[in-house]
C-alpha cells in the first residue's frame, strides 16, 4: 500500500528518542533528556514581542512562497556582515526550518543515478533525504584521530562522475568538529575541479568555543560560492526550534527550483514566525553571549566527567552542543545482567537503568560512540552524569 520511498527510510532517530523520553517524563518517570538537540533557553523576549505585534497587526495571511522581502533582506545583511557573502533576493529562500531547507535541496537536486557524499558521523537526516529522492548516499567514514574531518584525499577517492553534492556540516552535529581553513580550501578546490555542489549546513555557526570563528566555505572565492548552498536557521542560534524558520542562500537557478517545490508543498513558512525571525536577525544579540558561556561550561564539565569513567574516552568538541564520547571499550561487557554489544544496547541500558536518554552513535553512522546533548541545564547534567556513573559501576563481578 505504501510508496517504495517511505519503506526505504526510517523515522528521525533523534526525534524518536526525544519522544520516548518525553513520554516517560509525562508518565511520571524522572528521565534526564540528553537526547534531542534543542536549546533549553527560551526564545528571547524581544523576538516573542515582535511575533505578538505581527499577530495584533493581522499579519496572518499567506506570504510570498520563499519568504517576505524584509526577512530576505535581513538574511542578506546577516550573510554579508557575518560571513562576508553577497547575495541578491532571488538567491535566498526561507523554509520551515533548516531541515525543510535541506529537504527542498534534496528534492531540487538529487535523483536516480546521483551520488551524494556524506562524511560520517553525519546528522541523522542527511542519508534518508538522499534515499527519499532515489539517489545514493556515499558514506565516507572519518577518523577520530583527525577530529572527524574528511581529508582531501579521502574526498577525492570517493568522487565519481555521478557525484552531485557533498554535504558538509560544521560545527558538526554530532561531533562538534570545526574545519580548519586549509582543509576547507582544499575541499573547495576539489568541488570546483570536479564540478559538484557543496551543501553547507551552518546551523551551529554561532555556537563555537575557545575563540574559534566560523568560516563559511562559500566565502573562499566566487567559484566556490557559485556552487555552494549555504543552509542556516534560527533554531539553535536564537532558541527558536518550534518556530520553524530556516533558509538557503545559493545560485538563483537552484533557489528558484526549491521555491517551485515549496509552492507545491508547504507554501510560505509561517507568517508570524517570519516577522519573529527578522527581529531575531536584526535585533539585539547579547543573549547569545550568555547562551554560549553556559554551553561552554557545560561542555567542559561533561568532557571531564566522561573521561573520568573507566572505558569512556571523550574529545573536546569545538562547537555545537553535543559531546560524542567513544564508548566502544564498554562493548562486550555485562552491566546489571545486560550484555552491552553496541551503542544502541548502551543507550537502552542507560535509559532503563539510569533513566538517562541519549542517542546511540549508530544513528549517526558510528557505532563506537554515543551522543550526549548538553543543551540541558547544568543541574540536570550533573544528575545525569551521576546516574551514568552509577549504572556503569554495575559491571558483572565475574568480568572485573
Write out the residues near ligand PMP by the rule CB under 6 A: 37, 97-99, 123, 169, 173, 201, 203, 233, 235, 241, 246
* Shortest-Cβ-distance residue relative to ligand GLU: 37
Window 109-128: residues binding ligand GLU (CB under 6 A): 124
According to the binding rule CB under 6 A, does residue 315 interact with ligand GLU?
A: no
- Give the residue with the Cβ less far from ligand PMP, 43 or 173: 173
- From 11-19, 83-91, 242-250, 298-306, span contacting ligand GLU (CB under 6 A): 11-19
Judged by CB under 6 A, which of 21, 32, 36, 218 binds ligand GLU?
A: 36
Nearest CA to 308 out of 321, 325, 328, 331 is that of 325
Query: How many whole angstroms from its chain centre is CA 112?
Result: 26
Return the one option of ligand PMP, ligand GLU, none that residue 15 interacts with (CB less than 5 to 8 A, by type): ligand GLU
Angle, helices 98-109 vs 252-263, to 10°: value is 100
Judged by CB under 6 A, which of 104, 169, 173, 237 binds ligand GLU?
A: 173
SS3 102: helix
According to the binding rule CB under 6 A, does residue 376 interact with ligand GLU?
A: no
Question: Could you tell me which residues come within 8 angstroms of residue 129 by beta carbon, excluding any fewer than 6 positions away?
Answer: 102, 103, 106
Q: How many helices (H) and strands (E) does the chain have?
A: 14, 14
Nearest CA to 295 out of 123, 40, 45, 36 is that of 40
According to the binding rule CB under 6 A, does residue 9 interact with ligand GLU?
A: no
Q: What are phi and psi of 216, to 5 degrees?
A: -75, 135
* Shortest-Cβ-distance residue relative to ligand PMP: 97
CB of 15 to ligand GLU, least distance (A): 5
Relative to beta strand 197-201, strand 246-249 is unpaired
Return the one option of ligand GLU, ligand PMP, none that residue 98 interacts with (CB less than 5 to 8 A, by type): ligand PMP
Residues composing the chain: 400
Return the one option of ligand GLU, ligand PMP, none that residue 233 interacts with (CB less than 5 to 8 A, by type): ligand PMP
The number of residues that bind ligand GLU (CB under 6 A) is: 8
Judged by CB under 6 A, which of 87, 93, 99, 335 binds ligand GLU?
A: 99
- Give the residue with the Cβ less far from ligand GLU, 124 or 220: 124
According to the binding rule CB under 6 A, does residue 37 interact with ligand GLU?
A: yes
- Cell, residue 198: 557543496
3-class SS shares of the chain: helix, strand, coil, % to 5:
45, 15, 40
According to the binding rule CB under 6 A, does residue 15 interact with ligand GLU?
A: yes
- From 10-18, 107-115, 210-218, 391-399, span contacting ligand GLU (CB under 6 A): 10-18
Site string for ligand GLU, 38-77 (x = CB under 6 A): ----------------------------------------
SS3 169: strand
- Give the residue with the Cβ less far from ligand PMP, 247 or 349: 247
CB of 267 to ligand GLU, least distance (A): 21
Q: In terms of C-beta density within 10 A (0-12 exposed, 13-18 middle, 19 or more buried), how is residue 236 classed?
A: buried
Question: Could you tell me which residues come within 8 angstroms of residue 391 by beta carbon, excluding any fewer than 6 positions away?
Answer: 335, 336, 349, 350, 353, 354, 356
Window 231-260: residues binding ligand GLU (CB under 6 A): none
- Give the residue with the Cβ less far from ligand PMP, 235 or 270: 235
In 17-114, DSSP assigns E strands to: 32-33, 92-95
Nearest-angstrom CA–CA distance, 391 and 353: 6
Contact status, residue 14 vs residue 321, Cβ threshold 8 Å = no
According to the binding rule CB under 6 A, does residue 14 interact with ligand GLU?
A: yes
Binding site for ligand GLU (CB under 6 A): 12, 14-15, 36-37, 99, 124, 173
Amino acid at each position: 500500500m505504501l510508496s517504495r520511498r517511505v519503506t526505504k527510510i526510517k523515522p528521525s532517530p533523534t526525534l524518536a528518542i526525544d519522544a520516548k523520553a518525553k513520554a516517560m517524563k509525562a508518565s511520571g518517570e524522572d528521565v534526564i533528556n540528553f537526547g534531542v538537540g534543542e536549546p533549553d533557553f527560551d526564545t528571547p523576549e524581544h523576538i516573542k514581542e515582535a511575533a505578538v505585534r505581527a499577530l495584533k497587526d493581522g499579519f496572518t495571511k499567506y506570504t510570498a512562497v520563499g519568504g517576505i522581502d524584509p526577512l530576505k533582506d535581513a538574511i542578506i545583511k546577516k550573510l554579508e556582515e557575518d560571513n562576508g557573502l553577497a547575495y541578491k533576493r532571488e538567491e535566498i529562500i526561507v523554509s520551515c526550518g533548516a531541515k525543510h531547507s535541506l529537504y527542498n535541496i534534496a528534492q531540487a537536486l538529487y535523483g536516480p543515478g546521483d551520488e551524494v557524499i556524506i562524511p560520517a558521523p553525519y546528522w541523522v537526516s542527511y542519508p534518508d533525504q538522499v534515499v527519499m529522492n532515489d539517489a545514493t548516499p556515499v558514506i565516507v567514514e572519518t577518523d577520530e584521530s583527525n577530529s572527524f574531518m574528511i581529508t582531501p584525499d579521502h574526498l577525492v577517492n570517493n568522487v565519481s562522475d555521478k557525484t552531485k553534492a557533498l554535504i558538509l556540516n560544521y560545527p558538526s552535529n554530532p561531533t562538534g568538529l570545526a574545519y580548519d581553513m586549509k582543509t576547507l580550501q582544499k575541499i573547495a578546490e576539489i568541488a570546483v575541479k570536479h564540478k559538484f555542489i557543496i551543501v553547507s549546513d551552518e546551523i551551529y555557526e554561532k555556537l563555537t568555543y575557545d575563540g574559534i570563528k566560523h568560516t563559511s566555505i562559500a566565502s573562499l572565492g566566487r567559484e566556490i560560492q557559485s556552487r555552494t548552498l549555504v543552509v542556516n536557521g534560527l533554531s539553535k542560534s536564537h532558541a527558536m526550534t518550534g518556530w520553524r524558520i530556516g533558509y538557503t542562500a545559493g545560485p538563483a537557478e537552484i533557489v528558484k527550483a526549491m521555491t517551485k517545490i515549496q509552492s507545491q508543498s508547504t507554501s510560505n513558512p509561517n507568517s508570524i514566525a517570519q516577522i519573529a525571525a527578522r527581529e531575531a536577525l536584526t535585533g539585539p544579540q547579547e543573549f547569545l553571549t550568555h547562551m554560549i558561556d553556559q554551553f561552554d561550561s557545560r561542555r567542559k564539565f561533561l568532557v571531564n566527567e566522561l573521561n573520568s569513567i573507566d572505558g569512556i574516552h571523550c574529545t573536546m568538541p569545538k562547537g555545537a552542543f553535543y559531546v560524542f564520547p567513544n564508548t566502544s571499550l564498554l562493548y562486550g561487557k555485562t552491566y546489571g545482567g545486560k550484555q552491552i554489544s553496541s551503542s544502541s544496547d548502551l543507550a537502552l541500558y542507560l535509559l532503563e537503568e539510569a533513566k538517562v536518554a541519549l542517542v546511540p552513535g549508530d544513528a549517526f553512522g558510528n557505532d563506537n560512540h554515543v551522543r550526549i546533548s548538553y543543551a540541558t541545564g547544568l543541574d540536570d547534567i550533573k544528575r545525569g552524569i551521576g546516574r551514568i556513573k552509577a549504572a556503569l559501576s554495575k559491571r558483572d563481578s565475574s568480568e572485573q
